[in-house]
Amino acid sequence: MEKVIIIYTDGGSRGNPGPAGIGVYIETLDKRYGEYIGEATNNVAEYAALIYGLKKLKQLLGKEKSKQCKVECYLDSELVVRQLNHEYRLKEVYIQKNFIEIWNLCLEFKNVIFKHIPREENRIADSLVNQALDAREKQGSLL
């Protein structure tokens, strides 16, 4: 029986573009990550979250175990999921670069699929984004 790893990712910015953060919840391993990524758009943050999640998963599992795993990635960004599933074109150069990085990361696993879910089903990753942004704002107000 093949191992299936479930990842929820989210990215967001306050202002679009504006201060941005990412959230990654690797449900199967019960690992949570939230990080401030600087100024970015929502789309850039969504891609950054997925890239971070796939890299982190490979790091946690190691190369050999990664090659044996099927990964299911759940995102609430319909645009990003449709781009990754080859349903929408990639017009912007920065999106093309992110797409290529994700595509290369996918080669590290047995199989990777991308699924769109409603925002309500992505609460943990969303809360990690907001925690990272709130912490950054609080840190900024202390300076």
pTM of model > 0.85? yes
Longest dimension (CA), the chain: 53
Report the run of H or E that residue 102 belongs to, with start and end.
helix 93-106
Per the structure block, which two tokens stand in for 82?
Answer: 């449709």
**pLDDT, tens digit, for every residue of 56-103?**
999 999 999 999 999 999 999 999 999 999 999 998 998 999 999 999
Alpha-carbon distance of 136 to 10, in angstroms, equals: 17
Give me the CATH code for the 3-142 domain, please: 3.30.420.10
Q: Spell out the residues 6+ positions from residue 103 whose beta carbon is closer than 8 angstroms to its own.
A: none
The Cα 139–Cα 143 span in angstroms is 7
Structure tokens at 122: 């992505």
